Amino acid sequence: MSLSLARRLLALLTCTLLFGRPYYSAQHQTDQSQAESPSPLDVHLTKPLQWQNGCLSVGLDRTNRSSSTIYIPVMGLYISSSASEVAENGKGKRAEAWINVFGASDILSWDAKPLAPGGTIHEHACLRANVGVVSLKRNSYREIPVSGRLKIQAYYYLTEKDWQKNKARQEATVHVPPEQWKKLERQDPSVISIFSAIPCRDDGCKANCSIPPLIIHGEERSVPDIWSDRKDWNERGKAISEKLAKNAPTCPGDSRSDH
């Protein structure tokens, strides 16, 4: 795949995902309004987060506690790790950001599955200790640690009609120019968001282990990851990590580009 083609693919995918919430933004995920309380969908961790065999183990249940069937999107569960964004020079006020670590895919599906009253979906994820971020402006790739907090977002539709309406819209975007997408009728799903502190890794180093990693403005996760094996991108990413480490020293290996 040529570099120019890869860029176009990434741009098209990012646009599609942003318009097709859930509709996922690889970097910034603004907390959306919660469903009216009480929500028909209960989301909770089944056990405390813990590091096992080099990955963060996450056990999660989604339960329909209403008296009616609800519909769970196939692409309806996203987990993000916190980060602190700074200006391109590495200085200035820090802004909260989120990097997706679970749920994003370049294989898109607008299908949903019914969840009967009292039904539960059991989920287990093993999250890598680091996640890769790219800057298309700087042509850089590097890895940052999964630390700080996790944000878990679970989406659902109250009725089959709502799901079908949204599915029809997403399928229509294939035949309609992007500038006309806003004219299509949309029915976004409801969302439940929960947060949890990420425990420190048991690697003998505790410095700043609960603090979100620094990223520069414009860095985001690439889905699919098409940059991690590029030596020149990794070298520029390493330089960024070294520069940011001066502002926020971390344990060796916590913020790296070592492919």
Dig out the tokens for 76 from the structure: 């309806």
For residue 231, give the amino acid letter: K
Distances (CA, A) of 148 to 43, 157, 231: 20, 30, 29
- Cα–Cα dist 99/55, whole Å: 16
Q: One digit per residue, pLDDT tens: the chain, 259 residues?
A: 444 444 444 444 443 433 333 333 333 333 333 444 579 999 999 999 999 998 999 999 999 999 999 999 999 999 999 999 988 765 668 889 999 999 998 888 999 999 999 999 999 999 999 999 999 999 999 999 999 999 999 999 999 999 999 998 888 888 888 887 777 777 889 999 999 999 998 765 565 678 899 999 999 998 988 899 999 999 999 999 998 887 665 555 544 444 4
Provide CB contacts within 8 A for 30, sequence distance 6+: none
Give the pLDDT score at 35.
Answer: 42
For residue 77, give the amino acid letter: L
Quick one: three-class SS letters along 159-171? CHHHHHHHHHHHH
Dig out the tokens for 193 from the structure: 């968001």
CATH of region 3-129+149-203, choose from 1.10.260, 3.40.50, 3.10.20, 2.60.40: 2.60.40
Residue 112: CA atoms inside 13 Å, Cβ hemisphere, count? 28
- Cα–Cα dist 168/22, whole Å: 15
Whether the CB-CB separation of 137 and 50 falls below 8 Å is answered with no
CA 129 to chain CA centroid, Å, is 14
Number of Cβ within 10 Å of residue 35's Cβ equals: 15
Dig out the tokens for 158 from the structure: 């109250």
For residue 42, give the amino acid letter: D
Give the pLDDT score at 202.
Answer: 74
Give the pLDDT score at 205.
Answer: 58
Give the pLDDT score at 91.
Answer: 65
Helices (H), 173-259: 231-245
Length of the chain equals 259
Please give the backbone phi and psi of residue 257, each rounded to the nearest 5 degrees, phi first.
Answer: -140, 95
- Cα–Cα dist 103/72, whole Å: 14
CA 10 to chain CA centroid, Å, is 15
Number of Cβ within 10 Å of residue 31's Cβ equals: 12
Provide CB contacts within 8 A for 193, sequence distance 6+: 31, 32, 34, 151, 152, 153, 154
Q: What is the pTM of this model?
A: 0.81
Helix, coil or strand: residue 98: strand
